[in-house]
Structure 1
Amino acid sequence: MNADEVRSRIGIVFQAYNLFPHLSVLENVMLAPVRVHGRTKAEARAASLEMLERVGLGEKARARPDDLSGGQQQRVAIARALVNRPELLLLDEVTSALDPELVGEVLDLLRSLADEGMTMILNTHEMGFARQVADVVAHLHGGVIAEIGPPAQVIDAPQEEPTRRFLSRLLG
């Protein structure tokens, strides 16, 4: 399997939404299915509308990204990552740019994806969410895994000093 085939099976959601402001929400979600995956515009449109409904934004399909809240923009970015039905979803601090009241709507969506069996690798400082949803938690320190294990062990009873220091700073 070549690198492009591997990448086609992975959805990525970045900390910044990276939506094209000159395109509608629907056009942003349709872009990869048409340009990268070779789907027809009709197929891409149907799949994109379905995914926008899934993330609760079907009525915003014609809107421009700048007309949406941060939480809505992040849900569009998640829809864009999911529209090609990836096997793995990578998420990098998807709530860090959001106002606190908008964090919940994104975490609720991720929780429902986890409940449906979506495999996700999530870089987050949302320890409560990680404790509830994760099967495995890893703490990275200096570019290497400092500690890995079940959430209860790593978050609630860390064994390694770098993990204890990080959680102490994060959780107060």
Structure 2
Amino acid sequence: MSQEETKWGTVDRLLVHEGRVMLFDHTVTLPNGSPTHYEVDESIRFAAATLAISGDHVLVTRQYRYPIDRWIFDLPAGGAEDDEEPIDTARRELEEEAGIVAANLVPLHTFFLNPGRTSWPVHIFFSSESTTRGTAARDDPAEQVSTVWLRVKELDSLIAKGEIVDPALIIARTMAASRGLMPSLKSLVL
């Protein structure tokens, strides 16, 4: 294994901020032996999101995202609670944010949102079977969520125009197409 492929050694890990985000300062040793510090967002164990479709429509949520100061479309999603498994988090978030109880959830893809700064994966699930509508239950006043059923063509157009900025939604759409669960992405033209 070359020096470029050698892992860093962790010497110490210290919580430096705890709020909506939990930041840890890691003291590490680089492959050349030099010590350095690296801050890592370890806020949650993982997040889970669901791409739900019904016919030629995709369920998305519309939320204000303060860090980028704009309203965006994204997927019903959130972080793990307690000892939840990813599928349980996806099911809970879909019901809390959209009032939807999915008849099925199929693992679609797992990715890391920002592997240079966060340690947690995002698990994406897919649901196409009939769903029932419950009542959305939101406990966090900072979550102002509405749900929208977009036509697949409309979603694809928004992606092509750069108006969809949520990586989980873009990745979910791409992976669903690559597995034949949704139409191909050939329509992604302006």
> Taking structure 2 as the reference length, what is the TM-score of the superposition?
0.28
| Bigger share in helix | 1
Computing the radius of gyration over CA atoms, which structure comes out larger, 1 or 2?
2
> Taking structure 1 as the reference length, what is the TM-score of the superposition?
0.30
